[in-house]
């Protein structure tokens, strides 16, 4: 059974513009996790190619958005380096990944962005 809706083109355009505006940060790789990439690429195709995303471009875009100095919390680090929390912490214990700093507080773990940049450049991720 096929149902046809008589929706004015202006309304459809406004809805698409709203969805695109909402998805633009995700589609440009600012907030995407590697596990979400395939789903987002499908959404992008449905919206008519709003942006171009590929796995290589996504990693480069994220590296470009990293601040020059500062600290990253674990969630931000794992968005750049696609491993699980337990794998990350095991790598920290083994010395494969940098150790966190406690400068921000006794209960706050954060990683120096310079250490993460070095890790990404080495390709150890």
pLDDT along the chain (125 residues), means of 10: 79 79 63 55 55 48 70 92 93 95 89 92 71
Coil vs helix vs strand at 60? helix
Handedness of CA 29, 35, 41, 43 (dihedral sign): negative
> In the prediction, which pLDDT does 74 show?
93
Q: Which two tokens stand for residue 102?
A: 């406690």
38 vs 44: CA distance, rounded Å: 10
Extents of the domains making up the chain: 1-56, 66-125
Could you give the dihedral angle defined by the CA atoms of residues 65, 101, 82 and 58, in that order, rounded to the nearest 10 degrees? Answer: 0
75 vs 98: CA distance, rounded Å: 15
């Amino acid at each position: 059974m096929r149902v046809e809706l008589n929706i004015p083109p202006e309304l459809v355009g406004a809805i698409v513009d709203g969805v695109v505006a909402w998805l633009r940060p995700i589609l440009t790789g600012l907030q995407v996790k590697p596990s979400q990439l395939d789903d987002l690429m499908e959404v992008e195709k449905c919206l008519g190619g709003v942006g171009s995303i590929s796995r290589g471009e996504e990693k480069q875009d994220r590296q470009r958005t990293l601040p020059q100095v500062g600290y990253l919390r674990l969630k931000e680090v794992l968005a750049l380096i696609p491993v699980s929390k337990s794998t990350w912490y095991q790598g920290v214990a083994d010395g494969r990944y940098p150790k966190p700093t406690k400068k921000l507080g006794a209960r706050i773990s954060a990683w120096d962005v310079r250490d993460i940049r070095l890790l990404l450049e080495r390709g150890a991720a």
